[in-house]
Amino acid sequence: MSVSILFLLVTVTLNIIIFFIILYVHFNENRKKKIKNKKRKEYAEDINECIWDLGKCSFKKKKIDIYFIDSIIFNINSYAGEKREKIIEMAERAGVVEYIYQKYKKSWFETERKLYIYFMGEIRSLNKFDELLKTEITEVVNQNVLFEYYFAICRIFKQQYENINKEIKEKFEEKLFEIFKAIDETDEYEIEKFCNLIILEGILRYHEEESNILEKFFLRIMESDISLKSKGEVIYLCALRQVKGIKRYISNKSKELLKQEIRDRAEDELLIKLIKSYGEFRIKQGEYVITEAAKDREWNVRATAVKYIEKIEGNEKLFMKLLGDENWWVRNNTAENLINKGKNGERLLINALKGEDRFARESSAYRLSSGEFGIKILRYIFEGNLDKILDIIEALVNEGNNMNVLDIILKENLVSVEDKIKVIKVVKNTKFLDYYENSIQRKDYDERIDKAAKLKLEEIFRKAVIE
């Protein structure tokens, strides 16, 4: 047999073998999946099974796999007291900690490292923790893994927090600061930011009762040479904490530092966050910051701040200025805030309508008039085109549409008295009656308008009687 035929036969045979492998895989995978599902269910549901398996690992040196660790964690989480302690003890004896440690050292994957750290926290083992943490901080710096570290530390400490002596507490605080500082020194902004959040959120979540830690931590960060960006995150979280009113923990000294940092801010994001946190929780202390921020040089800061200005009194000038701001978002947010304030806000918007600032007029018109018709009317008012106004009002009346604009025209001196009379003559629905009633109550109407209105009223009344 020649080499070529032999080669042909070999390739054909190989193809047949591969084909059978495919078939084998097909049937075998189905079988394996069933077994795996069953096994995982057993692991996760039966504590005795878990302990039994741990025992087997410990005595027979059976290989530990990742599913198994998953199930141990599940069981540790599910049980308390003796059962829980038993699993932890068995896990330690079975060499799970060592296995995890070895795995961690080899793993470059965040998810794996996270699981191992989580497990360390669960079994409250500080074994080799320092070493791993150091590697993580200096070599890898993965924010999510550090997050897990932090929570693991917190879990370990929280359980016995009351019993922990002063020395350990100080050590813990020291460690926190070390992590924070180490992260701050890395050049990757995002990681830095995330990690800062991680550390502080950890404190907020696990040590609410220990406000002293926070206070100390805050002051230490503020007084250190840590970058402004990182400090920004601290300020934000502290502000958030303060406005939520969970606990008082910022002293006057911290407040002073906070103000100073805001003034010297390196970026706007921080201030925006602060404004939001003050604004959303309506905190008195924040009012000053918000009004000052509304005068800021950056449009995004102004746009955010103006949304949260509470009082109109005393801020009229500021509002008028912002209504005519060069940026659309600022104008829009100002008008929106004013319209939400009710009559006083509307009054300011109407004043802007009469003003000379084109931007202010436009943004007020947009907010005051709902719908397309309203915008058109206001535009024609500025153009002095009464015929078109009357046409539109007629169309509005016939369609029974929103008549806010009509109110504005009749109440305010946007058009002349003669024009108002003409407008009244066109109106025929109940909205007019409301207006008339209001004007009588206010007693600030013009006689000529009053006469026209009375006539119109009679007309409407007569029509109603006939109908």
Partner 1 sequence: MKNFAEIISLMFLGYFIIMNLSYFAIFVMSYTGIRRYRKRMPLNNYLLIYQSRFTPPISLIVPAYNEEGSIIKNVNVFLSNFDYPEYEVIVVNDGSSDGTLLKMLEEYECEIGDYPYKKSLLTKPILNIYTSRKYKNLKIVNKINGGKADALNAGINVSKYPYFGSIDADTILERNSYMKVILPVINNPRRVVATGGIIGVINGSKIVENRIEEINFPKNILAKFQVVEYMRAFLFGRYAWSIVNALPIISGAFGLFKKSAVLQCGGYSTEKTKFYTVGEDMELVMKLHKHFREKKEKYKIEFVPDPLSWTEVPEDIKTLANQRGRWHRGLMEVMWSNKNMLFNYKYGILGIVAMPYYLIFELAAPVVEILGYIMMPYFYLNNMITVDVFIMFLSIAVMVGVMNSLLAICLEMITFRHYRRLKEIMAMACFAILENFGYRHLTMLFRIRGMIQQIMGKNSWGIMKRKGF
List residues near partner 1 by CB under 8 A.
2-5, 7-8, 11-12, 14-15, 18-19, 21-23, 25-26, 29, 66-67, 70, 108-112, 115, 142-144, 147, 188, 190-191, 194, 197-198, 327-329
Q: Which tokens belong to 232?
A: 């920004």
Closer residue to partner 1 in complex, CB, 54/198: 198
CB of 285 to partner 1, least distance (A): 26
Question: Is the CB of 146 or the CB of 293 nearer to partner 1?
Answer: 146
Report, in Å, the least distance between residue 68 CB and partner 1.
Answer: 12
Closest CB to partner 1 among residues 327, 370: 327
Output 71 or 315, the one with its CB closest to partner 1.
71
Nearest to 50 by CA among 58, 112, 101: 58
Give the separation between CA 70 and CA 66, rounded to whole angstroms.
Answer: 6
Q: Which is nearer to partner 1, 21 or 228 (CB)?
A: 21
Start-end of H helices in 369-443: 371-383, 386-399, 404-411, 417-426, 430-442
| Nearest-approach distance from CB 12 to partner 1, in angstroms | 6
Distances from the Cα of 312 to the Cα of 282, 305, 323, 338, 404, angstroms: 15, 14, 13, 8, 22
Q: Is 462 helix (H, G, I), strand (E, B) or coil?
A: helix
Kindly give the interhelix angle for 252-263 and 211-223, rounded to the nearest 10 degrees. 40
Count Cβ atoms below 10 Å from residue 173 Cβ, excluding itself.
17
Nearer to partner 1, 82 or 326 (CB): 326
Q: Which residues contact 300 (CB under 8 A, 6 or more apart)?
A: 268, 272, 329
Whether the Cβ atoms of residue 308 and residue 278 lie closer than 8 Å to each other? yes
Write down the least CB distance from residue 127 to partner 1, Å.
Answer: 22
Shortest Cβ distance from residue 349 to partner 1 (Å)? 19
- What's the closest the beta carbon of residue 399 comes to partner 1, in angstroms? 21
Length of the chain equals: 467
Instruction: Give the count of beta carbons closer than 10 Å to the beta carbon of residue 98.
Output: 13
